[in-house]
Amino acid sequence: MTRAASGVGGQVFLTPEAVSWFARVRTGGWSLRSHDRTRVERGNGLSLEMLDFAGLLLILAALDLGVGLATRGRRAAPPPADDAQPGGNDPAADAIVSTFVFYSYYGYGFRPGFRPRDLLPPARVAIMTAPDGATDWLDTPADPLGFWSRYPLPLNPPDDDTLVVGLLGGSVAQWLGLQCGSRIEQALSARFAGRPVRLVDFGVGGFKQPQQVAVLAHMLALGQSFDAVVNLDGYNEAVYGDMNLTQGTRAETPCPIVVKPLRAAVSASGSSARGVILSGRVLDMEARVTELGHRIDRSRSMTMSLLRMVRESHLRARLARARRALRELPGDPDSDLICLPPSTGTDSDASVIDLWVAGSIQLHRLCRANGIGYLHVLQPTPFVGGRAWSDDERRTISRDTGHGDVIARIYEGFRTASAGLLEEGVRFLDATTCLDAVAETVFADTYGHLNQRGNDVLADAICCNLLSEPPLLARRPR
């Protein structure tokens, strides 16, 4: 819904004064005027503000009705309702326990057989994909090792001409491999006179260092061969590393948003069961807040927009309380079956940055010892770089829920510390600016996930670097 003045073309616009009033509604301020308002007699049980609010709703409803009658037959049909909504009576079981399982090799992975379609509601798919784009990747099942791989693992093609590229990282790498795997393969294959290329995606939502090191070491031990490996990281190391320290665990602990509910699910303690419930509530309310925002922006009704904004404010307050309760949830060492080593008490941003550097150096050394080209890519984020947000991004991205301050602070440390990677001989690509020249929407949400357009640009930047001199991707002996 456009926030301007008057009404035209069948759409009611908000005046600046109404926007100011709505903003106070969303932050809990119900007063319509700057001076103090008095309540009517106690017997009525209503304040003047509430009467004003009810009156405004009636006025808005009348405006909606008038515009509707004036534009009957000319209004576009409303967008179809989503045929699936996130959450449910037990959102924790749906969103965490049914999505991930523990793996003894690198903490956790996707439950075998679980598909992207099982995770993403239709509204989310529409945001991530192009209007006429392919969606066959939605039916990619997780393999027995916990990855959404398009090929059976380990992949060792019998054809010696086939080049194998591994992709490591978290959910940004996960979606890049699923949505742009074919694009990357075709671009690289064209450089090698049509020789087949296979991109093997080892990205999993929430993965962070040193999980990438563990994944590569595990796959090499299983006999997986690579010609090049790309490590796409940054957001998870910064946000979840900082979150671990805030919650009293070490920076290298896997993503607490995933690990804590899984730990709770295998524990018999009541506090752990509460952890599952709280985690599910957080995920459910995050999805509902996002969906409400989209409905507000699509709405042609001022009345419905106002009601949804009030509802959104209420949901944000509940979300903040649930996040705080989850952060403060105590563990039960007598019943916990999963050990999360406590912080040393002296950890800081430096420990998060040092872990990021050390993890990349170990990946580089593993690759060098096995004759594999290695590229480290610092992933783009809405909060770093000089890019101006599109209108859709301004409505979607929040510096608060997206941990923008943490990212800006720690990313600055990453970029400074990248000099040490270069000294070690690591090929490093700072992709935080690769989207700066793109005016249209590229970020699908406040957490830095990309839509199809954004993934295409990032994929092209990675291919260009892999093929630049000296080329990292070349024929290597098996």
**Where do the domains of the chain lie, and which CATH numbers do they carry?**
7-77+287-322 (no CATH), 95-253+344-467 (3.40.50.1110)
Residue 216 contacts residue 166 (beta carbons within 8 Å): yes
- pLDDT number for residue 242: 95
Tokens of 474: 């070349």
pLDDT at residue 75, rounded to an integer: 35
Per-block mean pLDDT, blocks of 10 residues, the chain (478 long): 40 43 42 39 52 63 54 37 34 62 88 92 90 87 94 85 95 97 96 91 96 97 96 97 93 89 61 64 79 78 81 86 72 63 85 97 97 97 93 88 90 97 97 96 94 97 93 65
Dist CA 457 CA 350 (whole Å): 31
CA distance 100 to 262: 8
pTM of the full structure:
0.70
- What is the Cα–Cα distance from 94 to 89, expressed in whole angstroms? 9
| DSSP helix, strand, coil percent of the chain (3-state; round to 5) | 50, 10, 40
pLDDT of residue 66: 55
φ/ψ of 89, rounded to 5, equals: -65, -30
Residue 4: predicted pLDDT: 42
pLDDT at 38: 41
What is the distance between the alpha carbons of residues 430 and 418, in angstroms, rounded to a whole number? 9
Q: Map residue 364 onto helix, strand or coil.
A: helix
Bridge partner list, 443: 450
Residue linked to tokens 């304040």: 47
Please name every residue paired with 169 in a beta bridge, in sequence order, or none if there are none. 232
User: Contact at 8 Å (CB) between 306 and 60?
Assistant: yes
The per-residue pLDDT for 181 is: 96
Q: What pLDDT does residue 94 have?
A: 46
Contacts of 266 (CB under 8 A, 6+ apart): 102, 337, 338
